[in-house]
Amino acid sequence: MSRLKSVKKARGFTLIEIMITLALGLLISGAVIQVMVSNSVTDRLNRAIASAQESGRFIVNRLRSDVIETGLYNPMSGALDRSVDIVGEAAFVQNHPIPLPGDFVSRAGLGAQEGANGDSDTLVVSLQAQRDCRGYTLGYPAGAEFYVVNEYFVDGRQLKCRGFDGRFLRGQRAAVGHNGHAAFTLLDDVESFQVLYGVADSAIAGDNSARPVQYINANLLNARLAAGGQVVALRLAVLVRGDGQVSLDPAPTFKLLDADPVTPGNQHIYKQFEVTIALRNVKNFVRSISR
């Protein structure tokens, strides 16, 4: 009798108990896997959003700091290199803060341009500075100020800048220390770069406030400048792509300034950034000649 009881005590789980245990284990494992997958997707999404935000804030701040001094020319500066006629140079810079194609004899194609068929725009600015947008002094002594022309454009998906000595562009000096006018990359994963130009016109505004009366693209600039207008502000828009792949359905569509809407795809996070920059040096110049 005692042997029978011992045999009964040695029996394991029944088949039903094992099946129930396996089923519960599968349910729990499935839930854990689902949570892990969900956390992985959320993590990728958060990283993509964070990288897009970081890239957008960086490039907006960089462009603002680069172009806010557009049109600056101070003939009274003791640091200004005076190896050329600075009176004529001052007039040229102040009247061409946003150069257009044809303004320079040494590089006739250089100037602000509207991207064809929805492509990114090209921005070109003039100012007095100690370095170009790449950090080059272009052969001038350290600390010396000179006429700088900076170009911003998208090549592939890279937003780049290229700096020039304005005196070289005007045929007054040989190019020195320019590294072959190579372009430097400011930011990767840029889907689109768009520019609008705020034009002041005292005849339209009815005053000499130098406030922009309208924002136009580069294709319209030549006619407006010839009619007495002047660029006193810039609107810049950048569409950047976040790191990593994140599937989105439906794919988002973006409208940057006056450009046609774009739908870059549903495999990445994209974010749009815009900034309006008042060109205070140009505004002051316009006010001074309107009195």
Q: What is the pTM of this model?
A: 0.85
**pLDDT 10s digits, 246-259:** 777 788 899 999 99
* Mean pLDDT taken over the chain: 88
pLDDT along the chain (291 residues), means of 10: 52 70 72 59 70 92 96 96 95 96 96 94 97 96 97 96 97 92 96 96 80 94 92 96 79 92 87 95 85 57
**pLDDT 10s digits, 69-126:** 999 999 999 999 999 999 999 999 999 999 999 999 999 999 999 999 889 999 999 9
Q: What is the 3-state secondary structure (H, E, C) of the chain?
A: CHHHHHHHHCCCCCHHHHHHHHHHHHHHHHHHHHHHHHHHHHHHHHHHHHHHHHHHHHHHHHHHHHHCCCCCCCCCCCCECCCCCHHHHHHHHHHCCCCCCCCCCCCCCCCCECCHHHCCCEEEEEEEECCCCCCCCCCCCCCCEEEEEEEEEEECCEEEEEEEEHHHHCCCCCCCCCHHHCCEEEECCEEEEEEEEEEECHHHHCCCCCCEEEEECHHHHHHHHHCCCEEEEEEEEEEEECCCCCCCCCCCCECCCCCCCECCCCCCCEEEEEEEEECHHHHHHHHHHHC
